Amino acid sequence: MTPSESAPRVVARKEGGLGTITLNRPEAINALDVGMIRSIRGVLDAWLTDPDVSVVLFVGAGERGFCAGGDVRHLHAAIREGDFDTPDEFFRGEYTLNACVGEYPKPIVVLADGVTMGGGIGIAGHAAVRVVTERSQLAMPETRIGFTPDAGGSWLLGRAPGRLGEYLALTSAVMGPADAIYTGFADHFVPSDRLPSVREALTTRADPGTPAELILLFDETLDAGPIERAQPWIDEAFAADTVAEIQDRLRALIDSGDHFEGDVTPAAALAALEERSPTALTITLAAVQSARWLRNLREALSQEYGLVTWFMRTQSDMVEGIRAQLVDKDRSPRWSPPALADVDPELVGDAFTFEVDRGLF
């Protein structure tokens, strides 16, 4: 057994009123497994009534990122074999942890330095104080694996400005720090070389009740990011009611002869949609549109739990997407159906009314 395999994957430490939870799986960019989820929840539950902890800080071990998401590779074989209990345990644990973070009575600060995606957003995105750096890369990449944004991601996407939520969800676009703040996935930008100072200040602060004000001492203002600058055409295209209409609007923008700067362009968005699972795109658009009208994070998580159960039990694209992207890594998924035109008109209704015990909380 290597040192990384024997080391605890979640490390909790208390000092000066600050409780620090370190995701300690750097070889996997701190991807969450069910054991890590249980450990994090256990620490948060214990610190609820601990007088020695007034602020909780989440960090990720290693240089690559805070958390790359949930480690769904080990769920692949279980789902293929008809074992739904194992993935259900994972998703139930993850979603109840997401709600715990969002509702925690003590301030939670997350340093979302580097890669922070999927399940990583499920922790970082719902915290009270969310810090990004110049190395931060945030995304909800679930449509890449034939699935839909979860871990409370639909709640954040539904509240992004304009139609950026639909754009981010359908294309799996990656946000840098400026766009993460603009879209509501983060609060503050702090250069990575100042993070040690932030941690020291949180430990030695004079006023333990104001971590957000403390972070402001290190916060720097950024210029608008590429996604914010592209919002006019994104809103125009992604306000359509269906994925097919969105694609038609993107094609019209491409044919318009207008100039679009950088990598955030209608052509890039269309190319991304053409690679994704038609089923995942259809359900994801409906999920973001629905989340816009939900009342709170718990309602969004309950909706997501119903959808993940529907995907696991009735659809092949989630298993196929995990295989193509994370198991075999051939990047050549075989979606079913392969084209939007072949998607059953009753698909959305079937997914959102799928009978499942949604008693997460």
Render pLDDT for 63-81 as a digit per residue (tens, 0 to 9).
999 999 988 888 888 888 8
How far is Cα 122 from Cα 297, in angstroms, rounded to an integer?
Answer: 11
- Inform me whether the pLDDT recorded for 206 exceeds 60: no
Q: Are 154 and 121 in contact (CB under 8 A)?
A: no
For range 176-203, the mean pLDDT: 96
Instruction: Report the catalytic residues.
Output: 70, 119, 142, 150
How far is Cα 182 from Cα 306, in angstroms, rounded to an integer?
Answer: 29
For range 90-115, the mean pLDDT: 96
How far is Cα 109 from Cα 107, in angstroms, rounded to an integer?
Answer: 7
Render pLDDT for 117-139 as a digit per residue (tens, 0 to 9).
999 999 999 999 999 999 999 99
For range 90-109, the mean pLDDT: 96
Q: Does domain 3-352 have CATH number 3.90.226.10?
A: yes
Proportion of the chain above pLDDT 90, given as a percent: 83
The mean pLDDT value of the chain amounts to 93
- Inform me whether the pLDDT recorded for 208 exceeds 90: no
Which of helix, strand or coil describes residue 210? Answer: coil
For range 259-285, the mean pLDDT: 94
**Which residue's structure tokens are 């769920």?**
75
Whether the model pTM is above 0.85: yes
**pLDDT at residue number 359:** 65
Place 205 in a pLDDT band, splitting at 50, 70 and 90.
confident
Name the DSSP letter for residue 224. Answer: P
**pLDDT at residue number 80:** 85
Strand partners, 70: 32
- Inform me whether the pLDDT recorded for 1 exceeds 50: no
- Inform me whether the pLDDT recorded for 213 exceeds 90: no
Return the amino acid letter for 33. D
Inter-helix orientation angle 266-275/164-171, to 10°? 50
The length of the chain in residues reads 361
Integer angstrom CA distances of residue 19 from 46, 50, 295: 11, 10, 30
How far is Cα 26 from Cα 9, in angstroms, rounded to an integer?
Answer: 9
**pLDDT at residue number 3:** 45
Element spanning 11, H or E: strand 10-15
How far is Cα 338 from Cα 313, in angstroms, rounded to an integer?
Answer: 19
For range 18-22, the mean pLDDT: 97
- Listed residue (9, 3, 57, 56) closest to 29, CA to CA: 9
How far is Cα 65 from Cα 115, in angstroms, rounded to an integer?
Answer: 4
How far is Cα 18 from Cα 48, in angstroms, rounded to an integer?
Answer: 13
